[in-house]
Amino acid sequence: MNFLFNNILRNAAVISYRSHNSLKLYITAIQNITYIHTTSKHNNLMDFFDNKKNWNETNIRVGRAWRLDELRIKSNTDLHKLWYVLLKERNMLFTMEHECNRKVRLFPNPERIDKVEESMNNIETVVRERNTAYYTLETGETGERPVEDVVNLFGLPEKYPKNEYIIPKFMNTRWVKSYLEHGYINSLAVKKFYRLYQEKLRSIKRNERNRNFNHVQHLLKRFPDMDLEKLQAEYPEVDLEKAKRTKKARGHFLPKY
């Protein structure tokens, strides 16, 4: 009987010792883990400012914007993380630009804002492509808001995304009277504006066509041995045969064509 009682006490003492040691090891491990930080360092409002070593720089070396083909191979989680990184970078650049303008200093590399915005637009494009593909596969529809071709008050075609309203369109007397009954889109003022607008567009196209034609003539004059096929591919709307016969295209040499 004493032998059995001694074995029980010995086993209880061993279990108590092991549990005490394991508890001490667990507490030590917890204390060591408290010194390990996996989160990023918080700088409070200083996150809205650039690194201090770049404050007095006039030129900062930066990379290019993210391309569509690079973003398409990334997962949705990576795109979500990259979006917030770019958003934080854009807020920082806007803050630094405002601060430089306030202190009448030169903001270094302002094209960084354009690169960040281009990257964010590309991310939105990739996300929209994935959403469209998913909804098309699941429901047969794109999931985008339906768009309708309408004519605005200036008589110009416009893409109008449909919205939800409290009352239907035919019951909206304010819209019907001003837009249809009084004929704003068919009035003489709108027709005159549309005619002048089309005339301006034709003038812009004509001036652009003339500039390209004159530029091709000067190129033929300066570089008579240039590749005409590449020149035609660069300016497809220019008549090369007509440009070669003009006086501006001929230099002080015997023409080869």
Q: Is the pTM of this model over 0.85?
A: no
Residue-by-residue pLDDT tens, the chain, 257 positions: 545 445 544 555 444 545 555 545 444 544 554 444 455 565 676 677 777 677 776 777 788 899 999 999 999 999 999 999 999 989 888 988 888 888 888 888 888 889 999 999 999 999 999 999 999 998 888 888 888 888 877 888 888 888 888 888 778 777 766 665 556 667 788 888 889 999 999 999 999 999 999 999 999 888 888 888 998 999 999 988 888 888 888 766 555 55
Tell me the backbone φ, ψ of residue 53, rounded to 5 degrees: -70, -15
At 226, list the tokens: 């240039």
First to last CA, the chain: 125
Amino acid at 207: N
127: nearest Cα among 72, 69, 70, 82:
72
Biggest CA pair distance of the chain: 129
Per-residue pLDDT at 256: 56
